[in-house]
Amino acid sequence: MDPRAQVSMVFHLDKCIGCHTCSVACKNIWTDREGAEYMWWNNVETKPGTGYPTRWEDQERYKGGFEQHGDELRLKLQGRMGALANLFFNPYLPTVDEYYEPFDYDYEKLFSAPEGDDQPAVRAKSMISGEYMEIEAGPNWDDDLGGSPVYAKNDPNLEHLTEEERRSLNEIERMVFFYLPRICNHCANPGCVAACPAGAIYKRGEDGIVLIGQDKCRAWRMCISGCPYKKPYFNWKTGKSEKCILCYPRLESGQPPACFHSCVGRIRYLGVLLYDADQIRSAAGAPNERLVDAQREMVLNPFDEQVVMRAKQNGISDDMIEAAQNSPVYKFFKQWKVALPLHPEFRTLPMLFYVPPLQPVQAAIHEVTGAYEIEGTGAAGMAPQFNLILEKARVPIRYLASLFAAGNETLIEDVLKKLVAVRMFKRWQTVVDLKHEEVEQALAYAGMTPEEAEAIFRLTSLPTYEERFVVPPLKREQSIESTRAPLTQKREAGFTRFPGSQKEPARGW
């Protein structure tokens, strides 16, 4: 066992209102400068939709992430040699058109236009050429229109749906969309790190944040191809790649990342996970249907004495261990199993997780529980009702399974059953239009206790800032100290590996 600490996030998608405040907060702090105009380290997409850059999920086009070849886990970009062969011409990089041509408006004209009969109007100007331009795309071009057939039909996840499911997504009165905020996933097996020929990218030992060393970057741009989420970006001004840094300077002073802090829907939860680096290889190489479970097994129980002892030996501080014990991410992902990684089949072990959206369901609950008598006793009696509720979910299970479970529909059903059961439980408590037996059976069928339902409700709906942000101020100086200490001193302190050495497992194969 080789415990490592990871600062990790959960996004509760039922709470996201698609306001883009997170994107703007991030943009203002980090990418409001020359060379970075087109970059959105945090972006919010409408799903179904094509996202930013367009169709980033299509790895036949972009060749991001890893794939299993027999016993070997290889970059889809064909390993180091394949990357080297494409150093001078990489056909898998997104083009400017696949991002968008960044633009601004000629606001000056509003003030300087001569007096006339018409209101002055502003025109868009390219931030690359400075010329006037017609806008044809943007980072959230299909915002709120994802559900319409014009945009949704190009979403790669729809390829897994039946013709009928695709049609029903666009039916009037059933048309549906939801928002998907995305930042770098600070993966445990990062494709960007493995693809970089210059060794410029590293995963910080003390908190798992993935960073690009600007002094080492040689502009090969293989990180952009290697990342299946397309989260490193090339800065044309500096000639270096850059990416989300999880606001580490803010975290080091006890502040949460800007996207988290500004989130209007309070959909974000930030906490610490302890995970076993010895399991990275097996978790990343697990069969598709086992990928999420294998990643859950990789996350260690922070209350286990053995885990705590080994974590301390690895130099993980007491306050990080305590944070892991109070982590909202641990609860959502490991304990309650209602959060899932985005596209686990890319095999980078993304360390940010999503609670999938339930969508309008209350009417379905009422319709179903009102129309059907409960058959049988115990949990089994609830099965037909729940199956009907899940069938009535507007976003097909298969679509969510493609996004969050490598196609494993059972995982999505298990999450949605829990979310439905929590709503039934609270409705029974507050509105009293459901029968006690119905709720009891619903909880049993979803495999949860009333206490768990209450805890999920509490952390979903009423969390305080302190419950959503459970990360101690990161102590960079201590980590640097520990790497500088003489070897004998480190041995005496019981270090087996040193903070900062976390590159090793990701690059080994």
> Interface with ligand SF4 by CB under 6 A: which residues?
16-22, 44, 179, 181, 184-187, 190-192, 210, 227, 229, 231-232, 243, 262-265, 267, 348
The residues near 295 (Cβ < 8 Å, ≥ 6 apart) are 283, 341, 344, 349
**Of 46 and 314, CB closest to ligand SF4:** 46
**Of 257 and 499, CB closest to ligand SF4:** 257
**Of 77 and 397, CB closest to ligand SF4:** 77
**Of 13 and 316, CB closest to ligand SF4:** 13
| Residue type for position 275 | Y
Q: Select from 58, 182, 170 the least CA-distant residue to 395.
A: 170
Give whole-number Cα distances, 38 to 128, 129, 193, in Å.
10, 13, 23
**Of 22 and 274, CB closest to ligand SF4:** 22
Nearest-angstrom CA–CA distance, 359 and 361 = 6
CA dihedral 457, 458, 460, 465 (to 10 degrees): 180
* Smallest separation, CB 259 to ligand SF4 (Å): 7
Nearest-angstrom CA–CA distance, 275 and 311 = 9
Nearest-angstrom CA–CA distance, 166 and 322 = 46
* Smallest separation, CB 127 to ligand SF4 (Å): 23
* Smallest separation, CB 477 to ligand SF4 (Å): 24
**Of 184 and 439, CB closest to ligand SF4:** 184
* Smallest separation, CB 459 to ligand SF4 (Å): 16
**Of 41 and 445, CB closest to ligand SF4:** 41
Give whole-number Cα distances, 252 to 334, 465, 475, 477, in Å.
26, 18, 6, 10
**Of 184 and 448, CB closest to ligand SF4:** 184
* Smallest separation, CB 342 to ligand SF4 (Å): 9
* Smallest separation, CB 245 to ligand SF4 (Å): 10
The gap from C-alpha 244 to its chain's centroid, in whole angstroms, comes to 12
The gap from C-alpha 133 to its chain's centroid, in whole angstroms, comes to 33
* Smallest separation, CB 36 to ligand SF4 (Å): 16
* Smallest separation, CB 112 to ligand SF4 (Å): 35
**Of 23 and 441, CB closest to ligand SF4:** 23
Each as own residue / partner, the long-range contacts of residues 67-76 (CB below 8 Å, 24 or more positions apart, any chain) are 67/347, 68/285, 68/347, 71/285, 72/509, 73/281, 73/284, 73/285, 73/347, 73/509, 75/191, 75/194, 75/195, 75/226, 76/228
**Of 51 and 381, CB closest to ligand SF4:** 51
* Smallest separation, CB 83 to ligand SF4 (Å): 14
Beta-carbon count within 10 A of 102 CB: 15
Do residues 226 and 507 lie in contact, with contact meaning Cβ atoms separated by under 8 Å?
A: no
Nearest-angstrom CA–CA distance, 282 and 175 = 40
Q: What is the 3-state secondary structure (H, E, C) of 60-111?
A: HHHCCCEEEECCEEEECCCHHHHHHHCCCCCCCCCCHHHHCCCEEECCHHHH
DSSP 3-state assignment of 206?
coil
The gap from C-alpha 455 to its chain's centroid, in whole angstroms, comes to 23
* Smallest separation, CB 284 to ligand SF4 (Å): 12
